[in-house]
Structure 1
Amino acid sequence: MTDTPNLDELRQQIDDIDVQIHQLINQRATCAEQVADTKLKAFVAENGDSDVSKVTFYRPEREAQVLRKVIDRNSGPLEGKTVARIFREIMSACLALEKPTEVAYFGPEGTFTHAATIKHFGQAVVSLPQASIATVFSKVESGQCHYGVVPVENSTEGMVSHTLDNFMDSPLKICGEVEMRIQLHLLVNDLANPGTIKSICAHQQALAQARNWLDSNWPNVERIAVASNAEAARMAQKDSSIAAVAGDIAAEQYDLLKLAESIEDYANNTTRFLIIGQQHVEPSGNDKTSLIVEANNKPGALFNLLEPFHAAGVSLTRIDTRPSRTDTWAYVFFIEFEGHQQDAVIEKILVKVGENSRMSKVLGSYPKAVL
């Protein structure tokens, strides 16, 4: 005799657990609906306005805190981030009950920015592709979309200058960040084979990120830079003489086969994306702050800007430069650092930065990427 349950008993246990999980998810969804109703009533009482479009339902700092708790309390056998991704989808579906979230992203469908949008907001979000980074900003500024997702830097190719330039004049704030491990594949349609490929298409950054692999494996095949990896995938879908360099989401979107997998030159190739919106984000307990600063045009200007961070022991996570739009041979600095602008030590630093610069603009404080 043994106390080990047989297969039928184990399956029955799973079915019973599934019922409990289902009931608890619906309880959470009901609670989310009550949260939405409470927020709306409080807004009406305070403002005398019942326009639901003006009520803030999405709270980046709250979601970051929930996901961190999921990871911290996880005891396995599933990995903490695996469980957190499940909770991300539950929260996404519950938020959609409160109010569907419309998010503009630098498109088209099938790009890594599209994948970053889903990773951050979940499958229940209404994701709307845009033709340019500037259009993403304008859609959010006008209120046509609640948030936007734009690329800001790649670990091998550096900063995305168009994103930084749009922050110069925009009133929008950074509400969050997403980090995407970039895996590139050589994709073809089901009629293609190595002998039919006459050209390889991708966004110029993807071609650069797979340059060494392409040089070694396809040295004599023409490479064509196109508007996006998704556009390359669309071209490959229609033409068996074209191979696309793109990621998993493009392969799924355009029903393509992987002629070769993980062709990126660097295994840690990662792109970081920013979430932009109109709201100020409260502290989550583990935050970053970004700002743009135009230094005074005099010796030691950069030292004077950075010295307050060193004196306070605050870690800088990024510093980059862009040409000033006002003066020839003058520059603005894009600076990121750990901490929230409401922290007392950060408040003092920002005052000193303002005193030592011609212009300083806080772009936002937001939770560090959790997933």
Structure 2
Amino acid sequence: MKAALITIGDEILSGNTVDTNSTFIAEQLKNIGIKTVQIFTISDEIETIKKTLKSAFEMADLVITTGGLGPTKDDKTKIAFKDFFNDRLVLDEKTFEHLRQLLIKRKREHLLEINKDQAVVLSKAFVFQNFNGTAPCQMLEVNGKIAICLPGVPYEVKPFIRNQIVPYLQDKFQLDFIENRIISVVDYPESLLSNDIESWELSLPKHISLAYLPVGNRVKLKLTASGNDQKELQKDLEIQVKEVAAIIGERVIATHEDKIEQILHDILIKQNLTISTAESCTGGELARLITSISGSSNYFLGGIIPYQTEKKTQILGVDKNLIEKFTVVSEEVATEMAEKCQELFKTDIAISTTGVAGPNKGEDGNETGTIFYSIRIKDKTENFRLFLPHLDRGDFLNFVSQKIIQELVTLLVKNR
């Protein structure tokens, strides 16, 4: 089964809003064996929507649109669907009552009349009610092909897809199960890794495929199995994971989780370790990543962002003479920041960062993209330096924080 996705909205085309819906939907469809063959991004114009629907149905069995639904005059998707499917719009009493109860719950019943059009749907449509917003999802089936019309707000789209659309498609089409396992490997160049596991890779069963996904100095080996027996697929993957892990050895840092922050969570819980952060140039991004995982309160005791040089001495207690001698962006300062952070929060592990995120040079003349960071585990400190002048500020913060957590995971795995 093939799918085409259509993202509708001038705000996407202008660059003011990032389209995260398409990526999410494509991934969810892939997990149930539906391949996305095309993603369209178009303006909120009726004729454009109709032409794109025509093109999408020529290449796919399933077309999903997001955006262009709402009470405002620039929301035209519903009208385009009406014209394209030669249908009519009617007030759906069930949807209207659902909308009324939602607004009562939110103490906004006075907005019911303004939002009444949200309960106007296509007469031939099957309606999925929206439990996170006001615009329902509508689905039409014509000549064996399906069109699904979703609102555009991501926090509404995701529950629709996960909780209603995907289960519906799985039940209707009896799709194969898709199971994945991620094996995270560090300090192993991709070309060398590929060469060393070639015999194993060539012997994989036909229903299991392998993909190499490099992330920094980590390579994620993604195993994907498809078939009609979910438990058997899981057993097959477990066998293959054990085989390849035995070949790679200690450079495997995880065999289940994908996100590095989740891998860190599992290791810290298993080793019963606590952690704290002292961030300058990363501005709290490290702490954000670490605490994005449920259960992080068991090991993350706190963080500090001594962004200004003076705060590193006043709050964290870094020696002022050390800063004057080596500059604030230096290995020596990063080392002392980690030590002071560990003392402050009384943790097993402390991480510190100091650098120049850009776009301008640092106050002491350090080049944009320069960063020193220290990882202190118990009474031992490891120091690192990076120079990333090609990254803009946002990418710099994310890349550096991901890499630091990955470096910490590698150290913890080696020391286990």
Q: Tell me which interval the TM-score lies in, with the shorter structure as reference length.
A: under 0.3
Task: Please report the TM-score for the alignment, with normalisation by the length of structure 2.
Answer: 0.24
Task: Please report the TM-score for the alignment, with normalisation by the length of structure 1.
Answer: 0.26
Structure with the larger RCO, 1 or 2 (CA within 8 Å, 6+ apart): 1
Pair member with larger Rg: 2
